[in-house]
C-alpha cells in the first residue's frame, strides 16, 4: 500500500518568510496531523538549528507555527537536538543552547523550550542492543521509549556522505548520543594523500579525535619544485580516527581521500538501522520537510556562500519517513539528476532500498497536492 505524502508548492519567487509561513499554515490545517495528541502530553519536536555559519536551516518562524498548533490541543511541545561529534558551537550543550538562542529558537520566539537531549557533553542516554548486521549497540536520549509521539522537522539538503539529508538522517544522526554518531561514521575512515598535502594544519586543528598529526616527508621536494609541498605533510592515525569526515570538509587542496565504493553503503545501512530502532519506540510519528534553499552541503557545514543546487520545492508532510525523503528527492530531480550534476554521491539510493527492505517505510507514495 502506498504512503500519503502531502505537498504544498512554494515557487521560486515565493521565497519570502510570509509566503512560507502561509503555506505551512495551510498544509497543517488541511492535514491536521496533531489531532491525536492528549492534554498535557509531552511532544518532542526534533530539528537542527544548523551550525553558527549556516543561514539556511529550518526557520524559527516556521517552527513557531507548528508549536502553536500543538499547543492548541493543550499538549506540551519541546524542541530538541543532540550534540555533534565535530568541533564547533554544537559540541556541548552549553554552547549549543546559546547558539539556539542567538538564532531565534528561544522560548520567547518559538513558544517552546529547546533542550539538548544527550546531556552537556553528548554522553548521556540509554544503551540498546539492536538487531543489525552493521551496528550492534546504540545510545539514545533517555526519553526515547518513554513518550508516545514524535514530530521531526527537516531541512532538505545534499550531504557529503549520504548524498541526501532529510528525515532519515535527522533521526539516525540527530536522535542518538555522540558515541553512536561515531560508530555510524566509523567505517568511513579517510586517508591523506601526501603528494597533495601542503601541511596547512587545518585538518589537524579541526579533528575531534586528535587523530591527525604533522610528519616529515621521507623524500621532500627540492626548493623550487613545481608542487612546492615543503618538507611536512599531515597523516591520520587510523586507530584513533572516528570517521566523522570533518577533515574532508576542512581540506581545500583535495588531499583527503575516502574509499567511497567500499564504505558509503555501510554508512547508509547503519543510519537506516538506527533510525528504524528509534522510530519503533514511538506510537505517533509525523514528519515535515522544508524544501527551501536546498544546499549542496548539510546545515552542519554550509555557509551563506554554499551552493544552492535546486530550486525551491515547497513543504512536504507524511507519517512515513522513507516516503517523504523519496518524494523530496524525486521533486528535486524532476527535470534532471540534480545530485549527479552537483557531484553528490548516490548513497541515498542504497539508503532508500535498504530502508524499504527493513520496513522503515514505503518507496511508493501518493503525492497529494494542497
User: What's the number of CA atoms in the CB half-sphere (13 Å) around residue 333?
Assistant: 18
| Whether residue 6 has pLDDT greater than 60 | yes
DSSP state letter for 59: P
Query: Do residues 271 and 184 lie in contact, with contact meaning Cβ atoms separated by under 8 Å?
Result: yes
| Whether residue 295 has pLDDT greater than 50 | yes
Q: CA end-to-end span of the chain, whole Å? A: 21
Find the mean pLDDT for residues 124-136.
94
DSSP state letter for 58: P
* Dihedral angle computed from the Cα positions of residues 137, 138, 144 and 150, in that order, rounded to the nearest 10 degrees: -120
How far is residue 9 from each of residues 5, 16, 167, 315, 336, measured CA to CA in Å? 13, 14, 19, 7, 18
How far is Cα 167 from Cα 69, in angstroms, rounded to an integer? 21
Look at residue 182 in the predicted model and tell me its pLDDT: 82
Nearest to 271 by CA among 79, 98, 130: 130
How far is Cα 230 from Cα 173, in angstroms, rounded to an integer? 39
CATH superfamily to which 3-185+262-369 belongs? LarA, N-terminal domain (3.40.50.11440)
| CATH (residue range 191-257) | 3.30.70.3270
Find the mean pLDDT for residues 196-225.
82
How far is Cα 102 from Cα 358, in angstroms, rounded to an integer? 40
| Whether residue 178 has pLDDT greater than 80 | yes
Tens-place pLDDT, residues 41-58? 999 999 999 999 999 999
Look at residue 123 in the predicted model and tell me its pLDDT: 87
DSSP E strand boundaries for the chain: 3-9, 42-46, 76-81, 114-116, 126-129, 137-140, 149-155, 157-159, 163-165, 191-192, 212-216, 232-236, 256-257, 284-291, 314-318, 365-369
Tens-place pLDDT, residues 351-362? 999 999 999 999
Q: Which residue has the higher pLDDT, 12 or 232?
A: 232
How far is Cα 222 from Cα 311, in angstroms, rounded to an integer? 49
Look at residue 225 in the predicted model and tell me its pLDDT: 46
Look at residue 343 in the predicted model and tell me its pLDDT: 93
What b/e readout covers 134-172, taking b as 16+ CB neighbours within 10 angstroms?
Answer: bbeebbbbebbeeeebbbbbbbbbbbbbbbbbbbbbbbb
How far is Cα 100 from Cα 110, in angstroms, rounded to an integer? 11
| Whether residue 12 has pLDDT greater than 70 | no
Tens-place pLDDT, residues 152-176? 999 999 998 999 999 999 999 999 9
Q: Give me the count of residues in the chain.
A: 370
Average pLDDT, whole number, for the chain? 92
User: What's the number of CA atoms in the CB half-sphere (13 Å) around residue 190?
Assistant: 25
What b/e readout covers 228-241, taking b as 16+ CB neighbours within 10 angstroms?
Answer: ebeeebbbbeeeeb
Please name the helix (run of DSSP H) or strand (run of DSSP E) that holds residue 168, with its range, or none. Answer: helix 167-172
How far is Cα 213 from Cα 132, in angstroms, rounded to an integer? 34
Dig out the grid coordinates for 33 from the structure.
496531523
Dig out the grid coordinates for 105 from the structure.
529558537
How far is residue 192 from each of residues 135, 183, 217, 245, measured CA to CA in Å? 26, 21, 13, 12
Bridge partners, 183 (sequence order): none
Annotated domain spans of the chain: 3-185+262-369, 191-257
Tens-place pLDDT, residues 218-270? 766 545 444 445 689 999 999 999 888 788 778 888 899 877 666 889 999 99
Give the whole-number percent of the chain exceeding pLDDT 90: 80
Cα dihedral 167, 171, 50, 197 sign: negative
Report the alpha-carbon angle 123-148-42, nearest 5.
Answer: 75
Amino acid at each position: 500500500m502506498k504512503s500519503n505524502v502531502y505537498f504544498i508548492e512554494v515557487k521560486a519567487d515565493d521565497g519570502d518568510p510570509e509566503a512560507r509561513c502561509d503555506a505551512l499554515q495551510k498544509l497543517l490545517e488541511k492535514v491536521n496531523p496533531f489531532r491525536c495528541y492528549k492534554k498535557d502530553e509531552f511532544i518532542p519536536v526534533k530539528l537542527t538549528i544548523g551550525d553558527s555559519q549556516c543561514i539556511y536551516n529550518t526557520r524559527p518562524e516556521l517552527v513557531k507555527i507548528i508549536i502553536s498548533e500543538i499547543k492548541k490541543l493543550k499538549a506540551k511541545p519541546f524542541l530538541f537536538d543532540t550534540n555533534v561529534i565535530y568541533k564547533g558551537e554544537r559540541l556541548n550543550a552549553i554552547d549549543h543552547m546559546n547558539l539556539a538562542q542567538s538564532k531565534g529558537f528561544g522560548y520567547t520566539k518559538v513558544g517552546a523550550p529547546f533542550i539538548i537531549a544527550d546531556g552537556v557533553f553528548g554522553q548521556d542516554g540509554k544503551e540498546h542492543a539492536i538487531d543489525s548486521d552493521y551496528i550492534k549497540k546504540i545510545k539514545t536520549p533517555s526519553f526515547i521509549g518513554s513518550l508516545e509521539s514524535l514530530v521531526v522537522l527537516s531541512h532538505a539538503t545534499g550531504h557529503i556522505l549520504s548524498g541526501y539529508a532529510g528525515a532519515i538522517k535527522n533521526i539516525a544522526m540527530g536522535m542518538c548520543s555522540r558515541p553512536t554518531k561515531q560508530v555510524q561514521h566509523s567505517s568511513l575512515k579517510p586517508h591523506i594523500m601526501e603528494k597533495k598535502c601542503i601541511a596547512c594544519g587545518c585538518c589537524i586543528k579541526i579533528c575531534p579525535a586528535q587523530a591527525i598529526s604533522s610528519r616529515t616527508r621521507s623524500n621532500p621536494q627540492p626548493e623550487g619544485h613545481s608542487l612546492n609541498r615543503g618538507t611536512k605533510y599531515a597523516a591520520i592515525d587510523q586507530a584513533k580516527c572516528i570517521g566523522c569526515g570533518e577533515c574532508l570538509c576542512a581540506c581545500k587542496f583535495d588531499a583527503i581521500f575516502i574509499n567511497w565504493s567500499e564504505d558509503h553503503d555501510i554508512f547508509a545501512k547503519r543510519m537506516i538501522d538506527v533510525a528504524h530502532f528509534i522510530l519503533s519506540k514511538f506510537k505517533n510519528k509525523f514528519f515535515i520537510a522544508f524544501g527551501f534553499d536546498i544546499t549542496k552541503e548539510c546545515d552542519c557545514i554550509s555557509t551563506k556562500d554554499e551552493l544552492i543546487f535546486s530550486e525551491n520545492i515547497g513543504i512536504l508532510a507524511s507519517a512515513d519517513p522513507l516516503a517523504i525523503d523519496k518524494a523530496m528527492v524525486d521533486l528535486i530531480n524532476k527535470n534532471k539528476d540534480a545530485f549527479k550534476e552537483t557531484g553528490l554521491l548516490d548513497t541515498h539510493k542504497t539508503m532508500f532500498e535498504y530502508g524499504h527492505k527493513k520496513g522503515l517505510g514505503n518507496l511508493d507514495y501518493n503525492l497529494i497536492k494542497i
